[in-house]
Amino acid sequence: MKLLKLALPFRSSGNLLLRNFTNQRAGKALITVPKIEIADGQILYLLMSIYIHGETLYARTIVRGQPAKNHVRVYDRVRSEMESLGLCVKPLGGGMMDVNEAARTMKIYGKCKTFGRANHYKTMEIMKESENYKNFNITMER
């Protein structure tokens, strides 16, 4: 019992050190996570916000897409990937994309039944900012 009373004051400083270390690791991950990861072909995509737990002010918006049965599978894959980096994920909506890298075209359309319709205009702007997709002919449907 006496040992517990002696260790109690050090617990709070230990927690603070651990939290700072974790936030630094997550902060580096937040900066280095690629904004876009999509596959070629007809895919389901999600527009998501990633952030450090409790610090939503410093969130980044990312686009993730892959061939899948539903948007939940895309979300689960991204969530597990981000959790391993110490980041939280919030889906902002989803839709579909037809990506043809050979013809350098992309069509953004549709909506997600689970997470709602993504802001396709914002998705298009993120894609145009990217070095890989800035020369693509990107169209969207409302």
Q: Got the DSSP string for 123-141?
A: HHHHHHHSTTTTTSEEEE-
Average pLDDT value for residue range 26-45: 91
Position 129 in a domain: yes
Question: Mean pLDDT, the chain, as a whole number?
Answer: 86
pLDDT at 2 over 90: no
Position 20 in a domain: no
SS3 41: strand
The whole-angstrom separation of Cα 126 and Cα 44 is 16
Secondary structure of 90-114 in HEC code, one letter for each residue? EEEEEEEEEEECCCCEEEEECCECC
- Owning domain of residue 106: 31-140
Position 53 in a domain: yes
Sign of CA dihedral 117, 61, 133, 40: negative
Position 16 in a domain: no
Position 58 in a domain: yes
CATH code of 100's domain: 3.50.20.20
Q: 28-32, 34-38, 83-87, 96-100: which range is least confident on average?
A: 28-32
- What pTM does this model have? 0.81
Position 112 in a domain: yes
Pairing of strands 55-66, 41-52: antiparallel
Q: Select the more confidently predicted residue: 12 or 85.
A: 85
Position 89 in a domain: yes
Catalytic positions, written as ranges: 71
Position 100 in a domain: yes
Q: Per the structure, how many domains does the chain have?
A: 1
pLDDT digits (tens, 9 = 90+) for 78-98: 999 999 998 999 999 999 999
pLDDT of residue 28: 82
